[in-house]
Amino acid sequence: TIEEEMKNWKSNLQQFGVLCHGNFTRENLLFKYKSNLESRLSPCDAVFQDFSRAFYGSCVMDLYQFLFTSIDIEIRNRFMADFVCSVYYDSFVKTLMSINNNLAVFSKSDFIREFNDKIFCGFVFAAELHTWLVREAEWSCPDRHSRTQADSKYEKYMLALMKDVAKFKGKANVTIEK
């Protein structure tokens, strides 16, 4: 599904095109911390593994995968708009400028519009991945109680995913229209 949708979403690659990881999930991220006391609070470095699915695409694609598969539901719900609209964009531009000060970079509102226009891709990726993981867990677990718990977690995850997408689209539409 994602591959078919991405054929239609190759627009704006001249403006937003980058090398995308293609499988930007927790399993492919390694974090380094200054000390054990700071575990999970403030990583000082990150390594991205397994570039076997890398492709040239919109800079928002890896961001969707990260937000929808690697960020806890509660954190994503509370901070997704801030992360996309400020933290990610500001860091992205700062990094690009450190590489080459003469690069023409898209505006924050253009970035938000790109993220908003293609958010369905992130939703589909997360929904397919999570569905696959839950079904795999169910098949390996013959216990009916465990399967019921997995279904309950799956339902909670999917509802949170839909809510977060709708919430961002609502906020982004207001921001873009200003």
46 sits in the region (left: phi over 0; alpha: psi -120 to 50; else beta) called beta
Cα angle 32-99-38, degrees, rounded to a multiple of 5:
15
Residues of the chain with pLDDT below 50 are: none
Instruction: Return the beta strands (E) in 69-150 as ranges.
Output: none
* CA gap 6, 77 in Å, rounded: 25
* CA gap 178, 12 in Å, rounded: 22
Please give the pLDDT value at position 32: 75
Please give the pLDDT value at position 81: 85
Cβ pair 7, 58 in contact under 8 A:
no
